[in-house]
Amino acid sequence: MNIMSPQRTHATHATCPALCSIVLLAACAVQDIDALLAERGVTDCPSNTGDSSEGSSDTSTSTSTSTSTSTSTGASAGGTSSSESTTSGGETSDGSTGSESSTGPSKPVCGDGVVEGDETCDDGNATPGDGCQECEKDSTVFITSEVYQGFALGGLYGADQRCQSLAAKAGLQHFLTFKAWLSTPSMSVADRFRHSRGRYVLVNGLVVAQDWDALTSGTIETTITVDEHSQTQDTRAWTGTLASGQPALGSEFCDEWDDDSGLLKFGGTGLSVNTDAAWSFFEHGPCGSELRLYCVEQ
């Protein structure tokens, strides 16, 4: 029998789908079927080799996609990818700092014996009356030995200069920090002065107030009647300021304490012999009067 006859070839091709199904299901594992196919001249049945590699490719793609998705999901859910990892105190790839820098610089510790930050002293103890309280030095207060007309003070700047000059001549420390207890309508003592946690004391060491809050409470411990030379001066002082440190409303402030036109005007004054609120503001006085100033170390 001639297996290459047209009739048999047609029959062979007609049976190819069935045989191919058998081959695919059995994975062409039986040698007799291979021999039968060769005998009958079947050469155009699809090979399962391509199908296998395609399945492998699909599996690889699926695995890659799954891994990528898992990694991405893990990072977005709070995990840290390798490109964003940091060492202690280092920076991430996006420029953010590590754990150490996120805490910020350490704050000054009052009582550790080291003066740092906004501390003006740190004697390492909490002993009262030793010149350092809450890591703030005592601030010296005095009434000036000289007198001035209210309209000729040279403004707030000129008044501060007078305090600094007298402090320097008397040999007081930090003389350049002294300021006059003086306000204008737009600039109060409370805004111009440092609100110290330390004590305010006279040149002779007597305590005027325990801190800024006490100084502006309306009552002080000692009258401010001691000048820069530790001499007594129990007269009035130019202030334009309430005991709270705010401007004395209703005062003309001698035209900002700096104009001849203020000669016939009035400015707020305080009584140095008082320890109540009148120490800072008692009444308005003529700007041509010669009065003293209160000077406070900053």
Pairing of strands 179-180, 283-286: unpaired
**Residue 64 clears pLDDT 80, i.e. is over it:** no
pLDDT for the residue 103: 64
pLDDT for the residue 273: 98
Of residues 132 and 58, more confidently modeled: 132
Given 17, 48, 68, the domain boundary residue is: 68
Residue 251 resides in a domain:
yes
Residue 128 resides in a domain:
no
Q: What is the distance between the alpha carbons of residues 203 and 175, in angstroms, rounded to a whole number? A: 13
Instruction: Tell me, yes or no, whether 172 and 248 share the same domain.
Output: yes
Instruction: Tell me, yes or no, whether 58 and 168 share the same domain.
Output: no
Instruction: Tell me, yes or no, whether 172 and 257 share the same domain.
Output: yes
Q: What is the distance between the alpha carbons of residues 279 and 268, in angstroms, rounded to a whole number? A: 11
Average pLDDT, the chain: 77
Domain carrying residue 40: 6-68
Share of the chain above pLDDT 70, in %: 65
Instruction: Tell me, yes or no, whether 154 and 229 share the same domain.
Output: yes
Given 20, 53, 68, the domain boundary residue is: 68
Instruction: Tell me, yes or no, whether 154 and 287 share the same domain.
Output: yes
Q: What is the distance between the alpha carbons of residues 152 and 148, in angstroms, rounded to a whole number? A: 7
Residue 114 resides in a domain:
no
Would you say the pTM of this structure is higher than 0.85? no
Instruction: Tell me, yes or no, whether 280 and 182 share the same domain.
Output: yes
**Residue 50 clears pLDDT 70, i.e. is over it:** no
Pairing of strands 132-133, 136-137: antiparallel
Q: What is the distance between the alpha carbons of residues 183 and 167, in angstroms, rounded to a whole number? A: 20
CATH of the domain at 160: 3.10.100.10
Tens of pLDDT along 66-93?
Answer: 444 444 444 333 444 333 433 344 444 4
**Residue 248 clears pLDDT 90, i.e. is over it:** yes
Residue 84 resides in a domain:
no
Instruction: Tell me, yes or no, whether 164 and 284 share the same domain.
Output: yes
**Per-residue confidence band for 175, with pLDDT thresholds at 50, 70 and 90:** very high
Give DSSP secondary structure letters for the chain. --TTSHHHHHHHHHHHHHHHHHHHHHTT--HHHHHHHHHTT---SPPHHHHHHHHHHHHHHHHHHHHHHHHHHHHHTT---GGG---TT-B-TTS-B-HHHHT-PPPP-TTSS---TT-S---SS--TTSSEETTEE-EEEEE-SS-EETTBS-HHHHHHHHHHHHHHHTT-TTGGG-EES--BTTB-HHHHS---SS-EEETTS-EEESSHHHHTSS--SS---B-TTS-B--SEEE--B-TTSSB-TT--HHHHHB-GGGGGSEEEEEETT-SSGGGT--EEEETTSEEEEEEE--
Tens of pLDDT along 255-283?
Answer: 999 988 778 899 999 999 999 999 999 99
pLDDT for the residue 200: 98
Tens of pLDDT along 116-130?
Answer: 888 888 888 888 788
Count of domains in the chain? 2
Given 68, 101, 117, the domain boundary residue is: 68
pLDDT for the residue 266: 95
Of residues 184 and 67, more confidently modeled: 184
Residue 155 resides in a domain:
yes
Q: Which of 21-35, 51-65, 116-130, 205-219 has the highest mean pLDDT?
A: 205-219
Residue 226 resides in a domain:
yes
Q: Kindly state the average pLDDT of the residues 177-203.
A: 97
Residue 239 resides in a domain:
yes
**Per-residue confidence band for 38, with pLDDT thresholds at 50, 70 and 90:** low
